[in-house]
Amino acid sequence: MLSNGQKRVVAIHDISCFGKCSLTVALPVLSAAGVETCAIPTAVLSTHTGGFQGYTFRDLTEDILPIVQHWKDQKITFDAIYTGYLGSTEQVDLVCQAIDMLKTENTLVIVDPVMADFGRLYANFAPDFPKQMRRLCEKADYIVPNITEACFLLDRPYHDGPYTPSEIESLLQGLAAIGPASPILTGVYYDARELGAACLEGSVQTYLGGKIDVIFHGTGDVFASALVAALMRGLPCGKAIEIAVEFTRQSILKTLEANPERRYGVNFEAALPALWQMLNA
């Protein structure tokens, strides 16, 4: 923590230059919450890979450890390490090393195992990628998979929702057994009316908001970034999840006010004042 009480996070994700996900979401959301946010860009893409053809992809794998080493030399420390989309198994290995190098006893590690949705791995990922991502999850304090990612991490079959409370509990128990991390499962819904996220606090706790039946790209990053922001602002995990669910919902509602294109991401910018209010209530 800085002497003025400000928390400092490092976000380790790609930067998709267009399409509102990964670093172009993490940086503004965390900054708007008052959290200093440093970045290790793992790759530069012209757009994200979900719904665009012909995107550029500049791999920055070789830069990851030199950036970390320079920070170590400068004695720069972090209150949290927040990882998201990683482009290869090699990057997973290097990010595991980066965590070992940067983590102190006061550093919270949040891993969003970005790799899949709606039962399918994203483009570019080999079938064994979930096994590699599982190794990174073992290093985390919190993991934030959606239901598809949870199924891939646990090598279980996926089906579309709605889900039963016992299915959600079984997934959460399976995720909790991966390592020390507390799992936060997103995309949870028990009926057509509400959707949100669930965690284990003794028993399963579910935080739901009104379900909006439109799917936009990047909402996982919007959720996880707001969650990290709320945790850094010192809120308990349940409250942080509640805020992240509501911020994601508000972002989608703001998007629907215009003429939205699914792959262009959500208007989270318009929901930032609401995030600030929720964080300071």
Could you say which of 45, 108, 137, 222 contacts ligand PXL (CB under 6 A)?
Answer: 45
Side-chain half-sphere exposure of 6, counting CA atoms within 13 A: 13
Restricted to residues 50-89, the positions that interact with ligand PXL (CB under 6 A) are: 50, 85
Min dist CB 204 to ligand PXL, Å, is 26
Return the number of the residue (122 or 158) whose C-beta is nearest ligand PXL.
122
With CA atoms as reference, report the closest residue to 142 among 68, 62, 235, 208.
Answer: 235
Binding region for ligand PXL (CB under 6 A) out of 142-150, 151-159, 166-174, 215-223: 215-223
With CA atoms as reference, report the closest residue to 30 among 50, 49, 14, 10.
Answer: 10
Tell me the C-alpha to C-alpha distance, in Å, between residue 33 and each of 39, 68, 144, 233, 280: 16, 24, 19, 8, 9
Restricted to residues 103-162, the positions that interact with ligand PXL (CB under 6 A) are: 114, 122
Binding region for ligand PXL (CB under 6 A) out of 133-141, 146-154, 218-226, 230-238: 218-226
Return the number of the residue (162 or 260) whose C-beta is nearest ligand PXL.
260
Phi-psi region of 51 (alpha: psi -120 to 50; beta: other; left: phi over 0): left
Tell me the C-alpha to C-alpha distance, in Å, between residue 97 and each of 60, 87, 171, 225, 268: 16, 16, 28, 22, 32
Tell me the C-alpha to C-alpha distance, in Å, between residue 27 and each of 31, 37, 43, 82: 6, 6, 15, 11
Cβ–Cβ under 8 Å, residues 31 and 228? no
48 binds ligand PXL (CB under 6 A): yes
Binding region for ligand PXL (CB under 6 A) out of 48-56, 66-74, 248-256, 267-275: 48-56
Return the number of the residue (121 or 235) whose C-beta is nearest ligand PXL.
121
At 94, list the tokens: 């290097």
At 251, list the tokens: 């972002």
In angstroms, the CA 79 to CA 39 distance is 13
Min dist CB 23 to ligand PXL, Å, is 9
218 binds ligand PXL (CB under 6 A): yes
Binding region for ligand PXL (CB under 6 A) out of 63-71, 134-142, 187-195, 213-221: 213-221
Min dist CB 112 to ligand PXL, Å, is 8
Could you say which of 10, 16, 178, 231 contacts ligand PXL (CB under 6 A)?
Answer: 16
Binding region for ligand PXL (CB under 6 A) out of 167-175, 178-186, 202-210, 216-224: 216-224
Please provide the size of the chain in residues.
281
Q: Which residues bind ligand PXL (CB under 6 A)?
A: 14, 16, 21-22, 45, 48-50, 85, 114, 122, 218, 220-221
